[in-house]
Structure 1
Amino acid sequence: MSHKGQQKIRLIIIGDEILSGRRQDKHFAKLVELLSQRGLQLGGAQIVSDDQDDVAAVLERSFATPDIVFCCGGIGATPDDQTRQAAARALGVELRLHPEAAQLIAERCADNARNGQGSADMSVPENQQRLQMGMFPVGADIVPNPFNKIPGFFINNHTFMPGFPVMAWPMMEWTLDTRYQSLHHQVRRVEHSFLAFNLPESRITPAMERLEQVWPGIKAFSLPSVGESGGQPYIDLGVKGDPDQAVQALDYLRQQVLDLGGSLTPVQK
């Protein structure tokens, strides 16, 4: 699902607080984890400001793709929450109060009232404001939120969730296991790597290029370390892709390191 022209799984993180550093993103690592557990992989990620023009432009481009996209942030009801409006604008549709969302928000208000917080009367200004969180682009479906019942929404393969991990992560899991269960473990792939010492990347690169020609189901990768903290420089070399081809490709790459004068263990000084 990550090849050019095919459907990818992507993440869009929305929020000025991430760009300013007031908060650190946690969604990227969690989505990678959830996808890996299901035999899937992330194909791209992007961080966008809260500005409605910015979000609408990003979503317009995103809706034009066949990709599966998870969008975190900006679906509250304060002035800086512009994701719902931007999504409707990008799709060229209106925002409308979703009846299921309205019911769930009313249930949440009733729960709060039983706990001595606020009123269950949906006509009071506070609850009317809360209903704005159920205003979704026409044609959207709800995404259940087990934390506080206030749902996200789904439209055109895009799942919109709050920025709070405690809400977003269960919504990610529900979406993956409900809407995209048929994609789980559809492609068998593995990743293997080893450390190579005393070898510049430029010397091993031709072998990596040949590897991908001989084993077309495999991608080779190289992650160099320059000897941070006084350690010895090395290259984390590896292969990923088809399990059957990976074993042969990895053996080839190891042998190439040795043939080219490198070593598989640190050189003693």
Structure 2
Amino acid sequence: MAQGLRFGLIIIGDEILSSKRQDRHLANLNALLKPRGLALSWVRILGDEAGLLVDTLKQSFNSGDAVFCCGGIGATPDDRTRQSAAKALNLALKRHPKAVAEIEDQFGELAYPHRVLMAEFPEGSDIIPNAFNRVPGFSIKQHYFMPGFPQMTQPMMEWVLDTYYADAKQTPSVEKAIRLLDGAESEWVEFMEAFEREYPSLRLFSLPHISVEGRRTIELGVEGEPQLAEVGLNAILHEVNKRQQAWEPL
């Protein structure tokens, strides 16, 4: 696998945008990526609007990113992801014989006339097994299309990572941070800029917080390879002590 491959996530469904349902795909995918030393680069949440789906998928297909797409692959008229993916690639929808076989084995005669429509994928797609109810997802051009149900999608995501990206595993990163008490982020900008120049392999983060009582604190820390993260944290502590800044461990 090429160095620098980015992972993206597209979450599809009007019910997510309206907050009728709360998304779980982002947390589930992060839980699978982090132990492998991988991370998401971007996330998009879209409704079931065909034109917007087509435009977004055209862009992501051209990006070269590995993209997980969750939702909208059912057989009802408001499920438009399969059709939009085909249109974005200028391909015909075609019934995948393995997907048809899975759906027939699961539902028998009840596979027709509607459930079998879920076996129609952009021509040239491969299937993604669905252990929950045997209605497969599909993959094409490093895009992995799965249902909107998290209990189905999480094991399908895991299968994709194990099948296509086993060689992408890296040493899992760790976070190390402290909490600055009664500090202001603006006081740390120059230090943070210098830190990023000195430690480009670490991700520096600063998370301010204001308590109910109005007290300001800052979670200041780093994420990266364990040994280097320890070095980075020590550099932060050195600066904190030099400034005589009050802090507490996390």
TM range (shorter): over 0.9
CA distance in 2, matches of 1:242, 1:210: 20
Q: How big is the alpha-carbon RMSD for the aligned residues of Structure 1 and Structure 2?
A: 1.8
Number of aligned positions between the proteins: 248
Query: 218-227 or 142-151, which moves further after superposition?
Result: 218-227
Indicate the residue corresponding to 1:197 in structure 2: 181
1:208–1:253 CA contact under 8 A, matched in 2: no
Partner of 1:17: 15
Please list every run of 5 or more consecutive structure 2 residues that lacks an aligned counterpart in the other structure. Answer: none
- Aligned residue for 1:145, secondary structure, equals coil
Deviation at 1:121, TM superposition (A): 6.6
Provide the residue aligned with 1:68 in structure 2: 66
Measure how far apart 1:239 and its partner are: 1.1
Q: Tell me the equivalent position of 1:162.
A: 147
Q: SS in structure 2 opposite 1:154?
A: strand
**Aligned: 1:230 with 2:213:** yes
Q: Which secondary structure state, in structure 1, belongs to the residue aligned with residue 69 of structure 2?
A: strand
Does structure 2 conserve the Cα–Cα contact (< 8 Å) formed by 1:199 and 1:261? no
**Residue in 2 aligned with 1:44?**
42
The one-letter code of the counterpart of 1:58 is T
1:152 to 137, 145, 149: 137
- Do 1:56 and 1:89's aligned partners in 2 also have CA atoms closer than 8 Å? yes
Task: Say whether the 8 Å CA contact 1:198–1:261 is kept in structure 2.
Answer: no
The amino acid of 1:138's aligned partner reads: E
Identity among equivalent pairs (%): 44
- TM-score, structure 1 length as denominator? 0.87
Q: CA deviation at 1:150?
A: 0.6
For residues 107-148 of structure 1, give each alpha carbon's deviation from its aligned partner in whole angstroms, at most 9, with x where no partner exists: 0113xxxxxxxxx276xxxx1211110000001000000001
Residue by residue over 1:6-34, the C-alpha shift from the partner in whole angstroms, topping out at 9 and shown as x without a partner, is 32111100000111111111111111111
2:103 corresponds in structure 1 to 105
DSSP-derived class of the 2:206 partner: strand
Match of 1:239 in 2: 222
SS at match of 1:96: strand
> Secondary structure of 1:77's partner?
coil
Aligned equivalents of 2:158 and 2:233: distance in 1?
33
Q: Does 1:88 align with 2:71?
A: no
Q: What's the counterpart of residue 27 of structure 1?
A: 25
The residue aligned with 1:214 is: 198
What amino acid is the match of 2:18? S
Structure whose residues are more often strand by fraction: 2
Flag structure 1 segments of 5+ consecutive residues without an equivalent.
Answer: 111-119
CA distance in 1, matches of 2:202, 2:231: 10
User: Which of 1 and 2 has higher RCO (CA within 8 Å, sep 6+)?
Assistant: 2
After superposition, give the CA deviation of every residue in 1:227-265 in whole Å (9 maximum; x if it has no partner): 2x2263210000122333322221111221232342114
Q: Distance in 2 between matches of 1:142 and 1:238?
A: 41
Partner of 2:166: 181
Listed one character per residue, the Cα deviations across residues 184-238 of structure 1 (whole Å, up to 9, x for unaligned) are: 12x55332111111221111121111111122222211000012x2263210000
Amino acid at match of 2:162: D
Contact 2:184 2:216 in 1 (8 A): no
Structure 1 counterpart of 2:6, from 2, 5, 8: 8
